[in-house]
Each structure stands twice: as C-alpha cells, then as structure tokens.
A and B are shown apart, each in its own frame.
Chain A
Amino acid sequence: MLARLMESGNKRIADLAVNSNFRSLRFRHDRIFFQKASLQEKTILGLIGKESGKETMQMEVYDCKQKTDLTGANLIWDTKTNQKITSVAGKNVIKGGKASWDFYWQLFGRNSIDNKGLLIKQYVHYDKGMDNAYWDGRRMVYGDGDGTVFTSFTSDIDVIGHELTHGVTENEANLDYENHAGAMNESFSDIFGIMIKQKCDNQDVKKSNWLIGEKVMIGPKYALRSLKAPGTAYINHPDLGDDPQPATMDGYQNLPNTQSGDWGGVHINSGIPNFAFYVAAFNMGGYAWEKAGRIWYAVLTDTSLIQNGKFTDMKNLTIVHAEKLFGINSPESKAVKQGWTEAKV
C-alpha cells in the first residue's frame, strides 16, 4: 500500500508515504536493536537502572581536622543518620557526592564507584592549607587550600566528580597512571567531572564554560583546567605561571615517568583527549551527557580498552561506540571523528 502511495503522482501524498515508510523502518530497526542489545548497551542507553530504582547511595564524610592521619579522622556525616553538619567543605562533598552518584545511576544504571553499591568515603580538611584533592584507591581526600592561590578543593562539584570518577576508572578500564594511559585516566575524570557539573547546573554544550575548578582557584581569570581551550585555564598567573596543557597531539609533552615528571605528564597531556571530547560534544549539540557522554562511558566500560592503551586506541573505540550507538555515518560518529581530527590524534 505504502509503496503504491510513494509512487503517487500527488507530491504531497508521495511525501507523506515516504515519511511514513521511513518512520516505520526506523521503528522496526530500533525494535530489533533493543531486542539484540547486550546488557552493556542497555545499561549505556539507560534501560537498566531506571527500571529497578531500588538502589540508594551510601556515603560517609570524615573530618581530618587539618591532620594527615586518615585513620584518626572523625565521622561527621553518613547517609544512615543524615545528621546536620556545620562544615562547609562537608556540605560541599555531600552535595557533590550525591550529584556524582545520581549522574552515574540515572544515566548509566551504575550503582556507585564499583557498580555494586560501594560506600563512598570522603575526607575533608586534610592537612594544613593543603592545596590538593586526591583518590587513594579507597576514598576521596580534600584539602582546604592555601587561601592565597587556592580555596577549598571541595568548592567545585566537577573536582568532586573528577575524584569519584578515578574510582570508577579503577573499577573498569583500570588504566595505568602513566604516559598515554594515565592521561586518558585523567581525561575520563575531567570529562565526567565537567558533565556532572553541567547536569547539576542544567547547562548544554553552549552554555557551559567547560572549566574545571573555577572556584577552587582564586581569581576570576583562573581555573584548574579548560576542556574547551586546554592551556588557557590560567595564563601568566603570579605564582603558577602558565597552564601547561596542550590541546593537540603536536604539543604532546614527553616527560619522565616519575613523581616529578607527573608520571609522564598525565595531568598535562590529558588536554588532548579532553579537547577531542569537547569538540565532539559541541558538534553533537544539546547536553553533553546525552550523546557524547554515553559514547565515552561505553568506552570506559569496554573491556577491550587495555590498561596501557594509547590515545589512538581511545580514538578508535569512541568511533566504534559512536557507530554502534548512533549508526555508521551518523552525525554523532562524524562529530567524534571530527573531535579527534581537531586534537590531531
């Protein structure tokens, strides 16, 4: 019937018939795709977690009282008792921890850091004037900042999301913390950190400034990192100098794989995959977590992403997953390719 209408001499009827046929085809293909989709694909598409809805976040917050002994820190808040607290840093990490857990749960059906409901442990007021935050393999730890260059490292939700994502990466691809793989590890943390902030603030790719840690670093011109323009988060800073991140592969820095060499520049060369993601997400438009975020999560949880992978492995896998999720030659797969081309990978 539709075939006959498509050949109708009446252009309007023919147009309607072609459109109906196209929609019908797409629905049939969608149905077949969802029937055949693997558990991982269903999870990525958000078809798993939302249906169950039973899991809840478990979190504890500890006050280190400006000491470095984590075992002596005081428990000041937990999800069971939900007690009132006065610490601003404590309140920040509760908000950021919840936002991060919600992000992974609502979008990917992921239940916490290990996808098995791991208790999220966060430690605030670590050391005196400590200008840093870190993930030690079991917990997130935040300093108060030196008060001159940095304020509390709990001030930005993207920093909290960044640290939590280190835990996710450790439980998934478990990328080595050196050279290319280390920079990819850092990049995943920045990418998911920024998307967690964007989702909290309901920011699309155009509205977001793509800056990590803009409150943590004191001064309106400064942030810790920029995904949109790596190397510009701080320029000619009186204490730090210039942001060392390259945006493209020709600026890749071969640094020693030592503590002093930032393990081969993991926080420096991460600018390259960060920029590829930014370009891809921006070209897709809308909210970054809806398309680009799903592609990058599929890569992070893909067992074929090897621990000592290179940027080219990440590039290839993001293209594979973009095509798998959105189709070969889809605007999304083209946007991903464009991202890596712009980053010169």
Chain B
Amino acid sequence: MDRGESLTEAMKIKLIRTGGFIPITKEAETDVNLSDSQVKSLLEIIQPDRIPSPIKDGNYYLLAIGSSSTLVDLEKVPDEYKALFSKLKSDLKFIKRR
C-alpha cells in the first residue's frame, strides 16, 4: 500500500452491509493508517459507476469513515486493498434489531 506524500493517520473504517431477503445490517470495523489523499483516492475508485437501481432482495455495501458513509462497489477494490476488504467482509457481524 502506498502510504502517500502526506502524513498517515490511524483511523477507523467500517464496512456496512445492508439489504437482502430480510433486511439485516452487518458491520465490521478496523483501524487503518491512511492519509487523507489515500482515503479520497480509494473512495473515488470504489464508488459505483452510477447510482444503482434497486436490485430485488439485493445487498449493498457502504464504507463509513468518521461520521460519513459512502456506497461502494467491492468489485472495484484495487489489489493493494483487497486483503483489507476481504478481512472486513469476513468479519461482518449482525446488528441486532430491537
């Protein structure tokens, strides 16, 4: 992973999965050391090409950094981030509905 030109900073990122046959939410969080420019670049790369029309019973993934979350297309994750996202995906845990 290219650590970039600016200072890297430890931050939490959260992968959120929503939707499905029954609407359930799953989340996984991890700490990463990424610069602001790296985060910006990553989000640009993995954003969906267009706003997806709803898929019947489909799942959607969002990446939350800080207080904002962005819809992401996991098929577009660059090679250097594949291991990170693969780990996040396998760590997804149910958020219990009350």
Using a CB–CB distance below 8 Å, which chain A residues touch chain B? 68-69, 128-129, 131-137, 149, 153, 159, 162-163, 166, 170, 177-178, 182, 185, 189, 213, 224-225, 237, 239-242, 244, 259-260, 262-263, 265, 267-268
Is the pair A242, B21 in contact by a Cβ cutoff of 8 Å?
no
Q: How far is the CA of A318 from the CA of B44 in the complex (A)?
A: 48
Say yes or no: B23 contacts A136, CB within 8 Å. no
Evaluate contact between A213 and B23: CB separation under 8 angstroms.
no
Give chain B's interface residues, CB within 8 Å of chain A: 16, 18-25, 53-60, 62, 71, 74-75, 90, 94, 96-98
Say whether A260 contacts B55, CB under 8 Å.
no
Known interface pairs A136-B58, A137-B55, A166-B57; A242-B25 also in contact (CB < 8 Å): no
Closest to B16 in A: A260
Most buried by B among A159, A244, A262: A262
Chain A residues positioned under 8 Å from B19 (CB to CB): 132, 259, 262
CA distance A135 to B19 in the complex (A): 13
Please measure, in the bound complex, the distance between the C-alpha atom of A242 and the C-alpha atom of B22, giving whole angstroms.
12
A68 / chain B contacts, CB cutoff of 8 Å: 74-75
Q: Which one of B54, B75, B97 has the greatest number of beta carbons of chain A within 10 Å?
A: B54
Chain A residue nearest to B86 (CB atoms) is A128
Residues of B close to A159: CB separation below 8 A:
21
Report whether B60 and A259 are in contact in the complex, using a CB–CB cutoff of 8 Å. yes
Q: State in angstroms the CA–CA spacing of A129 and B90 once bound together.
A: 9
State the CA gap A178–B53 with chains docked (Å). 11
By the criterion CB–CB under 8 Å, are A224 and B71 in contact? Answer: no
Q: Looking at the assembled complex, report how far the CB atom of A28 sits from the nearest CB atom of chain B, in whole angstroms.
A: 46
Q: Are B56 and A185 closer than 8 Å at their CB atoms? A: yes
A135→B22 contact, CB < 8 A: no
Chain B residues lying within 8 Å of A263, measured Cβ to Cβ, are: 54
